[in-house]
Each structure stands twice: as structure tokens, then as C-alpha cells.
Amino acid sequence: MNKIKLDNISLCINVYKKLLPVSRQLHNISERKCNGYADTDWGRKQEQRDERKKSNLINKAISLALEVDLYIYYQTDPRGCSLYLIDNKMDSTNYNNGIAIY
């Protein structure tokens, strides 16, 4: 029987906690994109900010997931959870078998 080390569990919990704000921010970006940006200077600037922010957040999520030898799946539909931790056997067809970060 494999023994689970407390350090491993602690690391997983900490990664999950660090991913929570990332997931919320990605969800907010997805909502704004779904609602559409205003055809104004402000709307276009907001869209550009969101794209830069999304890229940075995804990179952060990837590096956090790698700390526990997992991957992320970013689901852009704002009606559900935006971020999942998945393993190498999961993809866009079964990502919901992973750990939802919400």
C-alpha cells in the first residue's frame, strides 16, 4: 500500500489555494468576453487588458500545476468552472473528471 505523505497533501492544498484567485479572475474575463466589449476606446482597451491578463494568469496556473505534476484545463464558458487541474490522461472531452478550482 502506498503511503501518502503529509508534505504532498500540504503542497496540493497550497497549490489549490493559490489557483483559486486565478480561476476567479479567468472566470471574470470570460464573462466580460461573453457579454461583449463596448465599441468604444474604453471597451477596446479593456479587451486588450483582459487578453494580456488572461495570458499571464494561464501561465501562472500552468507553473502552479506543474508543482504537483499536473496540468490545467481552462474552460472558457462562463456558465461553469473556469479552471481544472487534470492529469495527462485527461483532455477537452473529460476534463471535468479533474479537480475543479472554484
Each residue's pLDDT expressed in tens, for the chain with a length of 102 residues: 567 788 888 999 999 999 999 999 999 999 999 999 999 999 999 999 999 999 999 999 999 999 999 999 999 999 999 999 999 999 889 999 999 999
- The whole-number pLDDT of residue 8 equals 86
What's the number of domains the chain is made of?
1
- The whole-number pLDDT of residue 1 equals 55
Please state, in angstroms and as integers, the Cα–Cα distance from residue 54 to each residue in 8, 11, 30, 39, 88, following that order.
29, 25, 9, 20, 23
**Would 1 be classed as within a structural domain?**
no
pTM of this prediction?
0.89
**Would 34 be classed as within a structural domain?**
yes
Calculated CA dihedral for residues 23, 24, 28, 33, nearest 10 degrees = 10
In terms of residue numbers, what domain contains 35?
Answer: 6-101
- The whole-number pLDDT of residue 90 equals 92
